[in-house]
């Protein structure tokens, strides 16, 4: 059994972690898990024309989380208003107590105590399993945030499934599936 119901997947930031989280959510939902949270559906647009978007795993709501700053801007384009709207998904998950909550990123804002940091801490303090992505740039910040140096998972589906299956079952419908996750 997993005594640490939170972890982050170390990713390089080229979208591979996003696809992995979306795939994990689909797999576990098919097995009867109650999955909530937010996943990235569109990352940064190099031209700056399309907003970054995250999706609510439960209801499919899409949230624009960036703002156009113009082609010459190098400032952070994250939109605090979009993030605030999306944060309600994580607060709803806190009330629902699902089997697992996915959060699209632990990044620059969360490392400074902003973004989804409060919601993530609330979920973790209630023992609700949480999984997110973290880039090497924020690895140490994530470890300080959680207080655990060993809460990182490799970018492999088998590692994520092994971690998830080691979590305590929270609902009768969700039973850990046997797997070859070595």
Average pLDDT on 110-124 reads 95
When divided into structural domains, the chain yields a total of 1
CB atoms within 10 A of CB 115: 23
CATH number at residue 70: 3.40.50
80 within a domain of the structure (yes/no): yes
Kindly report, residue by residue over 2-18, the tens digit of the pLDDT. 567 999 999 987 778 99
- Interatomic CA distance for residues 104 and 135, integer angstroms: 12
Is the separation of the CB atoms in 134 and 108 below 8 Å? no
171 found inside a domain = no
Rg value, the chain, Cα: 16
Range of the domain at 21: 6-165
Q: Quick check: is 149 in a domain? A: yes
pLDDT at 79 over 80: no
Burial string for 32-45 (b: 16+ CB within 10 Å, else e) reads ebbbbbbbbebbee
Going by the DSSP 8-state scheme, the letter that residue 140 receives in this structure is H
The span from the CA of 85 to the CA of 169, in Å, is: 30
**Domain-embedded: residue 175:** no
In a domain, 174, yes or no: no
Instruction: Report the alpha-carbon distance of residue 80 to residue 114 in Å, rounded.
Output: 9
178 found inside a domain:
no
- Mean pLDDT taken over the chain: 86
Residue 176 resides in a domain: no
pLDDT of residue 18: 92
- State the CB neighbour count (10 A cutoff) for residue 122: 14
Strands 53-56 and 62-64: antiparallel
pLDDT of residue 49: 61
Copy the structure tokens of residue 80. Answer: 């605090």
Q: What angle do CA 145, 18, 52 make, to 5 degrees?
A: 90
Closest CA to 105 of 23, 8, 24, 4: 8
97 DSSP β-pair partners = none
25 pLDDT higher than 80? yes
**Strands of the sheet with 152-153, listed across from one edge:** 62-64, 53-56, 35-42, 100-103, 130-134, 6-10, 152-153
Does 173 map to a domain?
Answer: no
> Among 5-19, 87-101, 107-121, whose mean pLDDT is lowest?
5-19
Model pLDDT, residue 15: 78
pLDDT bracket for residue 171 (50, 70, 90): low
For 41-65, how does the pLDDT look when each residue is reduced to its tens digit (9 = 90+)? 976 655 566 678 899 999 999 998 8
């Amino acid at each position: 059994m997993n005594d640490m119901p939170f972890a982050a997947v170390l990713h390089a930031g080229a979208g591979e972690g996003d696809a992995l989280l979306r795939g994990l959510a689909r797999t576990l939902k098919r097995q009867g898990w109650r999955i909530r949270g937010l996943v990235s559906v569109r990352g940064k647009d190099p031209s700056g024309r399309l907003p970054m978007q995250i999706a609510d795993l439960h209801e499919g709501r899409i949230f624009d989380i960036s703002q156009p700053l113009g082609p010459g801007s190098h400032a952070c384009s994250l939109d605090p208003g979009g993030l605030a709207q999306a944060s309600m998904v994580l607060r709803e998950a806190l009330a629902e107590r699902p089997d697992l909550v996915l959060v699209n990123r632990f990044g620059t804002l969360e490392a400074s105590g902003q973004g989804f940091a409060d919601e993530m801490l609330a979920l973790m303090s209630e023992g609700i399993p949480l999984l997110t992505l973290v880039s090497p740039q924020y690895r140490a910040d994530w470890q300080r945030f959680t207080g655990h140096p060993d809460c990182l998972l490799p970018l492999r589906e088998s590692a994520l499934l092994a971690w998830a299956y080691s979590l305590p079952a929270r609902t009768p419908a969700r039973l850990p599936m046997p797997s070859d996750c070595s």
